[in-house]
Amino acid sequence: MVGNNLSPYRLITDNLIMGINALSIDDFLSLDDAECERRIVAAKAALGERLVILGHHYQREEVFKHADFSGDSLKLSRQAAQSGAEYIVFCGVHFMAEVADILSAPEQIAILPDLAAGCSMADMADIEKVDKAWGELSAVLDPDQDVTPITYINSAADLKAFCGSHGGIVCTSSNAEKVLEWAFNQREKVLFFPDQHLGRNTGFRMGMRLEEMVTWDFDKPNGGLSEEDVRKAKIILWDGFCSVHQQFHSEHIDQFRASYPDGKVIAHPECAYEVCEKSDEVGSTELIIKKVKASAAGSRWLVGTEVNLVNRLAQECKAEGKFVHYMAPIVCMCSTMYRIDPQHLLWILENLVKGNVVNQIKVLPEIADQARLALERMLAVSY
């Protein structure tokens, strides 16, 4: 069993099933990208409708070009489930492949090209820490009566299951406001994990004061909060964050506006509160793409999200005379997403052609059932 910080609650298996003629990854790592591209195209043709490749927006271009569907993690998982393909190869990170497995049919197989492709934000909230926080909150109030747990989709399957079993729900960056509205209709408080910024920015846009949103430091007893802090809070924010979106600062916006007074700024809600408050628009990757592409010719945008998406968007908009700038002066890509390279993708596909399944992501039924419940609550609220 392979995984990140597995516990008795988080029963997730990454199955490595190798046939007698299985191909080793070592034979692929030295291949150049051009050779990989030629053979990936051939393998896709051989597998036909049995295969669907999903490419998250943050993927490198050498991999992204081979995707049958592109988008954010939830959209991709739903498209894969509806495709009917036997093999779902998710060019993303671990939690995305888990969601694909949870939402797909039992006969569909979800695969992650490199098991090392995790998510640093997701790793900041594990089931042991969340269970401990839930127990510490019970010393102040009755969490199952007073608190709705919400986990961002950027989290492990066991945390989605935790929310499912405690009357909670999952959210994405595009539906967080609808999910929070639903949550407050259930109970008076919310525990929001793992990303503090998405919770804070969404709550503020809904009219909550910053002092009504407290941060739970999972490395301190009782989250570093007093009983009064907990009783007064409307949202208890987990002290987690995305390292990529932490690179953007409000002074980057100031510098852009000084140079381009007519330019527009758009940021992902995983950015810090100060960045989002200075931006003209705040939204998910899908919204960022939609807004920039729909803007008038000659528009100029400063974009606060992952560099592969920004570069791709800049290239696509260049022909229309639009200018797209990356927000930070220093490039910081999603290093775990970057682990998915053409060599690993080719290794997966050529093994499938030979009848070997490698790097299957399989969430055990007792976890998947509760996680699916939390996801279904989200889908009911959002669509």
For 108-163, the pLDDT digits (tens) are: 999 999 999 988 899 999 999 999 999 999 999 999 999 999 999 999 999 999 99
Gap between the terminal Cα atoms of the chain: 36
Q: Are residues 129 and 229 in the same domain?
A: yes
| Structural domain includes residue 359 | yes
Q: What is the rounded CA–CA span in Å between residue 62 and residue 263?
A: 30
Name the packing angle between helices 94-103 and 157-165 (round to 10°): 50
**Number of structural domains found in the chain:** 3
Q: Are residues 144 and 81 part of one domain? A: no
* CA pair distance 11, 369, nearest whole angstrom: 12
Q: Check residue 4 and give its pLDDT.
A: 35
Could you tell me if residue 95 is inside a domain? yes
Helix axes 157-165, 127-137, angle to 10 degrees: 30
Q: What phi, psi does 110 have (nearest 5°)?
A: -95, 135
Residue 150 maps to which CATH number? Answer: 3.40.50
pLDDT of residue 336: 73
332-369 pLDDT, tens digit per residue, is: 667 677 789 999 999 999 999 999 999 999 999 999 99
* pLDDT score recorded for residue 71: 84
Domain C-terminal end among 242, 260, 290: 242
Residue 25 per-residue DSSP state: G
Q: Are 33 and 27 in contact (CB under 8 A)?
A: no
User: Which residues form the domain of 267?
Assistant: 245-326
Q: Which residue from 192, 208, 185 is spatially nearest to 150, judged by alpha carbons?
A: 192
* Residue 7, domain member (yes or no): no
Count each helix (H run) and each strand (E run) in the chain, helices first: 17, 15
Q: What is the pTM of this model?
A: 0.91
Residue at 313 is within a domain = yes
* DSSP assignment letter at 68: S
For residue 301 the two structure tokens come to: 């945008």
User: What pLDDT is stored for residue 334 in this prediction?
Assistant: 72
User: Residues 283, 286, 291, 292: what is their CA dihedral angle, to the nearest 10 degrees?
Assistant: 110
CB 264 within 8 A of CB 302: yes
Q: Domain for residue 370, yes or no?
A: no
> Rounded to whole angstroms, how far apart are CA atoms 48 and 51?
6
Whose CA is closest to 149, among 199, 201, 202?
Answer: 199
Region 228-251: mean pLDDT is 96
Residue 316 burial (CB count, 10 A): 14
CA 145, CA 177: separation in Å to the nearest integer? 21
Q: Is residue 150 located within the same domain as residue 226?
A: yes
Please check whether residues 127 and 238 belong to one and the same domain: yes
pLDDT at 64: 94
Query: In this structure, which amino acid lies at residue 138?
Result: S
Q: How confident is the model at residue 382 (pLDDT cuts 50, 70, 90)?
A: confident
Q: Report residue 10's pLDDT band, with 50, 70 and 90 as the boundaries.
A: very low
Nearest to 298 by CA among 266, 325, 327, 320: 320
Residue 298 covered by a domain: yes
Going by the DSSP 8-state scheme, the letter that residue 14 receives in this structure is E
- Name which of 245, 246, 244, 136 is nearest 191 in CA terms: 136
* Residue 300 in this model has a pLDDT that exceeds 60: yes
